[in-house]
Amino acid sequence: MKVYVGVETYTDEVGHTLPRVVHWTDGRRFEIQKVLDERRAASLKAGGNGVRYTCLINGQTAFLFFEDPRWFVDAVKN
């Protein structure tokens, strides 16, 4: 399911932006430990496309999509 979420980002001095924190719809806050991959991709499951960040959150990988100007989450792999 496609869930739009709030995201805190960091933009470095050359203008490259990375997500830092995901704010889940129920108010929980998830720190992104590391961004493992960054590429253009579509999510057929959620029905959206944009830049896909593969993030390490609590030791698990999750896809976070930037569908300009919003962010959405695809699914969390267990």
Among the listed residues 12, 44, 77, 78, the single contact to another protein using CB under 8 A: 44
> Where does the chain show beta strands of DSSP type E?
3-11, 17-23, 29-31, 34-43, 48-57, 60-67, 70-76
Site size for another protein, by CB under 8 A? 11
Among the listed residues 18, 35, 46, 57, the single contact to another protein using CB under 8 A: 46
Q: By C-alpha distance, which of 32, 38, 19, 15 is closest to 76? A: 32
Our finding on whether 21 is near another protein (CB under 8 A) is no
Interface positions with another protein (CB under 8 A):
39-49
